[in-house]
Amino acid sequence: MAKSNSLPVPRGDVGPEDQPGRSLKAALRNGQVLLGGMLSEYARPALVKLFVHAGFDFLYIEYEHGFFDLATLADTVLCARDNNLPVIAKTPQLERAEVAKLLECGIVGIQLPRTETRADVECLLDYIKFPPRGTRAIAPGYGSSGYAQPANWATWMEDQDQETTLVVHIETRRAYENAEEIISTPGVDMVYVGPGDFSIEMGHPGQYDHPEVRGPMETILQLCIQHDVPFGTTAANLTAAGEWIRQGASFFETVDELTLIAEGATRLVNEYRALAGTAVPPR
């Protein structure tokens, strides 16, 4: 059969699934506190639907430490977009091709682990924005355009620049020392402080609410407020989350599917053991 030389049909009107990044940023500008459900190992459209039903505001993919098949990950992101759920993902490293694959599968927020300098931010910005602002290569027709060909490349490129969301990830002492120059860099959309590694860097592993961990995090939060950049973290518990919200935190990367399964399974088993008057046997 002869291969057709015809171009894909141009797109029609833009729907909600085409602007998850703008919806995410608009919600933050409007003062909403956003909750992100996390995926750490299992990427499935079914999990997206469960998170949508639960009411999460965005999906966060732990792509630095997690193990994901790229094809399944792309299917999961597509499902999220079809359900108007914006997706943020860590890039495993600050490298052009890694970032490009995440963007083209439809992820709108790129979160840079171990952000430590303004130069790091400017490099990521260069990768996620089209010329003249950056050097992102054109690749319409993938997940970022809903697998349809944009009718006008220039318009689509401008739309994509508004869609892409740069998320700084502060988790080291050096980043804390450079926090103001990082947060004030033009193009930063969100700042996340990872309390796990940050607590290690500050000498108190796992103690998210230790004064020598919490204090510097609060300093970063105040810098974010000063520069009008949304601040987010992962709270140790609901009490801590409430305190963060009162101080001005805008978003939380909350809990992953592994934790939900472990906690739910353990609770169920313990409840049944209590009914039977037996303890959970040691493993």
Annotate 136-201 with DSSP letters as a single string. PPP-TTSGGGTTSB-S-HHHHHHHHHHH-EEEEEE-SHHHHHTHHHHHTSTT--EEEE-HHHHHHH
Q: How many folded domains does the chain comprise?
A: 1
Q: Do the domain assignments include residue 211?
A: yes
Mean pLDDT, contiguous 10-residue spans, the chain (283 residues): 40 64 96 97 96 98 89 95 96 95 96 98 98 95 92 95 98 98 98 97 95 97 98 96 98 97 96 83 65
**Are 63 and 102 spatial neighbours (Cβ–Cβ below 8 Å)?**
yes
Q: Do the domain assignments include residue 5?
A: no
What pLDDT does residue 233 have?
98
Q: Do the domain assignments include residue 6?
A: no
What pLDDT does residue 12 have?
45
What pLDDT does residue 8 have?
41
pTM for this one?
0.90
Q: Do the domain assignments include residue 11?
A: no
Q: Do the domain assignments include residue 10?
A: no
Q: Do the domain assignments include residue 4?
A: no
**Are 235 and 252 spatial neighbours (Cβ–Cβ below 8 Å)?**
yes
What pLDDT does residue 243 have?
97
Q: Do the domain assignments include residue 283?
A: no
What pLDDT does residue 15 have?
57
Domain span holding position 263: 17-276
Residue 100's CATH number: 3.20.20.60
Vertex 67 angle, CA 61 and 73, to 5°: 55
What pLDDT does residue 283 have?
67
What pLDDT does residue 281 have?
65
Q: Do the domain assignments include residue 2?
A: no
Residues β-bridged to residue 110: 89, 166
